[in-house]
Structure 1
Amino acid sequence: MRIYGSGPGESDIEVPGHRYAALIGGPLDGQRLDVTGWSAQQLVDGAALITELGQFGPGGRALYEGQPGDAARLHWVGDTP
């Protein structure tokens, strides 16, 4: 499984002691995001992740949000420029 933000030639192996959330749906579906150190509220608020694969092409962002009590997944809610 690919780790979001890993570049060509970088390892997609999860780092021991880190916490990851699966990205569900949207252009980054199936990737994992390192959420080590994120609070429960930050997980619910989610993130705007840079991607070339979304509706707005290069430089656009895919929006992912969590759900209370589910720190293991962030769900796609749309794209933004």
Structure 2
Amino acid sequence: MNADDEQVMRGRVYGRDHDDPVPGPLPHRKYAVLVGGPLDGLLLDITDLRPEEVEGGVALSTELSRWPGGRAFYDPRPGEPRPPGAPGVVCRLHYSGDAP
């Protein structure tokens, strides 16, 4: 991934295409910021997930990991406060590795 790819991904919601008419967050949804790893800077829509699903971490498909088409793992850090100044963002999920 180069600098242009990174710029396209910032502020975008995981799973939406970069050319989607609304690739960014929607005001009525809740998001987690993905920190580190191949999906760094993307937002993950967690509106419809139960709290225990988020607390257990997520495995996200990506072509950008060490294994294209594999999964990147993101986990919460217990007790981490909500990021300031990010409307709709309720938590951060940190990269913890990937798998084929």
TM-score by length of 1: 0.86
Instruction: From the CA coordinates, give the structure whose radius of gyration is larger.
Output: 2
- The alignment status of 1:37 with 2:56, answered yes or no, reads no
Please give the residue correspondences for 1:23-62 in structure 2 after superposition, counting only pairs within 5 Å: 23-57=34-68, 59-62=69-72
Please give the residue correspondences for 1:1-80 in structure 2 after superposition, counting only pairs within 5 Å: 1-10=11-20, 11-57=22-68, 59-70=69-80, 71-80=90-99
More strand, by proportion = 1
More helix, by proportion = 2
Cα root mean square deviation, aligned = 1.5
Return structure 1 stretches of 4+ with deviation > 3 angstroms: 68-71
Cα distance between partner residues in 2 of 1:69 and 1:36: 20
Equivalenced residue count is 80
Per-residue CA deviations over 1:12-57 (Å, capped at 9, x if unaligned) read 2211210000000100001100000222221111211111111112
Contiguous gaps of at least 5 residues in structure 2: 1-10, 81-89
Contiguous gaps of at least 5 residues in structure 1: none
Q: What is the percent sequence identity of the aligned residues? A: 44
